[in-house]
Copies of this chain bind each other. A is one copy, B any other.
Amino acid sequence: MKITTNKVTFDEPLYCESGRILQPFEVVYETYGELNEDRSNVIIITHALTGSHHAAGVYEGESKAGWWDGFIGDGKAIDTTKYFVICMNNIGSCFGSTSPLSPHPLDGKPYRFRFPVLTISDIVKAQIRVMKYLEINSVYAVVGGSLGGMQALCYAVEYPKFAKHIIMIASTAYTRPWAIAYNKVTTEAIRNDPDFKDGYYDPADIKENGLKGLAVGRMAGHISFLSPQSMDRKFGRRYVGQDGLYELFGRFEVERYMEYNGYNFPHKFDPLSYLYIVKTMNIFNASRGSDTLEQSLSTIKSNLHLISFSGDLLFRPVEMEEIYETMKNIGKSDIVTYKMIESDYGHDAFLVEIDKFDDYVKDILQENI
């Protein structure tokens, strides 16, 4: 599989939904496979909250593969021998695209809280600019899970002729309060941490020493990614260094898991980016600007494929079913499909239970569904 990583800088402004502009702005992206001659084999992968453009493959000298490596590659569901796959780092994120730590054009100092509030529409708009730059005017498919699924739906609603297939996984048409509440724990934990310094922290310092508020918030996030059932199976009541003697004083394996995932996180993710991206999730509402979801989905011309997971508490099957039912109600039965995957894994299923839906996605892409 051929991998390339690139960055593109746009000098023309990005007009954001908030009325603010980003100028200049940059997008980092990665590609897998090769573009065919008539440019008809493009698949866009949209990433989730803390994801990056590095969706597949292993960088030289590293051991960790891209976040959807089991899904994207030669012969895999997103088959890179057939498709030219591109994954762009969302603007606002901290993996190279323009973010709150990028220099403000006025003074060259980091934007920090001067960065505009972004929306999923803004993120997708920036991606469309990259596609134009690459002279790709339409794609075969857009595929994304969670926050990536919101982007996928946004493509369907706002760029009706752009994608032949939209595959939206473990996501929603508008974020419900359960998810907003988890995000609230994180944003408050960050905001309260004195080392956050109201956003005026030294990024190198955070990367080196961590940020406890972000760590604690991330722990709350990790609960939302799992489910009671998956935690039972994964951890039970096992203690670290299992020993009856320590029963009253020991540390549970689930506690170690929370510590590990919490405290490591600030070493690899930026707190300001976290705040801005969480905001895009909270305010995502596919029917914003329309009176109803019916009206907003009425523009859709792509084939919209919805995949949910039965154990997902963050973006529940019922949320995806609402999109499915709405599409049917507005006479679009012929371009919508819905599948709920049985899984008690929780929201993380879209990352860790790929084997439960990869054949289904393969069938969609081969147009057998």
| Complex CA distance for A247 and B19, rounded to whole angstroms | 13
A212 at the binding interface (Cβ < 8 Å): yes
A369 to chain B, nearest CB (A): 29
Q: Which of A164-179 contact B (CB under 8 A)?
A: 174-178
Which chain B residues lie closer than 8 Å to A313 at the CB level? 228, 313
Q: Which of A150-208 contact B (CB under 8 A)?
A: 174-178, 180-182, 184-185, 188-189, 192-194
| Complex CA distance for A175 and B252, rounded to whole angstroms | 11
Interchain CB contact under 8 A, A258 and B17? no
Q: Interface with B: A23-31, A81-89, A217-225, A324-332, which one?
A: A217-225
Which chain B residues lie closer than 8 Å to A219 at the CB level? 181, 184-185, 188
Interchain CB contact under 8 A, A178 and B262? no
Interchain CB contact under 8 A, B180 and A248? no
Q: Mark A230-258, 1 if CB is under 8 A from B, else 0.
A: 01101111000000000111001111001
Interchain CB contact under 8 A, B255 and A184? yes
Which chain B residues lie closer than 8 Å to A226 at the CB level? 178, 181
Interchain CB contact under 8 A, A184 and B254? yes
Which chain B residues lie closer than 8 Å to A236 at the CB level? 177
Q: Given known contacts A189-B216, A254-B184, is B18 in contact with A248 (CB within 8 Å)?
A: yes
| Complex CA distance for A86 and B158, rounded to whole angstroms | 63
Which chain B residues lie closer than 8 Å to A177 at the CB level? 231-232, 234-237, 252-254
Copies in the complex: 2
A274 to chain B, nearest CB (A): 15
| Complex CA distance for A228 and B176, rounded to whole angstroms | 8
| Complex CA distance for A33 and B346, rounded to whole angstroms | 47
| Complex CA distance for A355 and B358, rounded to whole angstroms | 47
Interchain CB contact under 8 A, A176 and B231? yes
A76 at the binding interface (Cβ < 8 Å): no
Q: Interface with B: A59-67, A133-141, A280-288, which one?
A: A280-288
Interchain CB contact under 8 A, B254 and A223? no
A93 at the binding interface (Cβ < 8 Å): no
A117 at the binding interface (Cβ < 8 Å): yes
Interchain CB contact under 8 A, B237 and A188? no
A148 at the binding interface (Cβ < 8 Å): no
Q: Given known contacts A119-B248, A188-B215, A216-B216, is B258 in contact with A228 (CB within 8 Å)?
A: no
Tell which of B17, B212, B255, B262 touches A248, judged by Cβ atoms closer than 8 Å: B17
A100 to chain B, nearest CB (A): 16
Interchain CB contact under 8 A, B117 and A180? no
Interchain CB contact under 8 A, A262 and B174? no
Q: Given known contacts A176-B231, A213-B192, is B185 in contact with A237 (CB within 8 Å)?
A: no
Residues of A within 8 A of B (CB): 17-18, 117, 119, 174-178, 180-182, 184-185, 188-189, 192-194, 212-213, 215-217, 219-220, 222-223, 226-228, 231-232, 234-237, 247-249, 252-255, 258-259, 262, 282-283, 285, 288, 313, 316
Given contacts A180-B252, A184-B258, 17 further A-B contacts (CB under 8 A): A174-B237, A176-B237, A177-B252, A181-B255, A181-B258, A184-B219, A185-B223, A188-B212, A188-B215, A188-B216, A188-B258, A188-B259, A188-B262, A192-B216, A220-B220, A247-B283, A313-B313
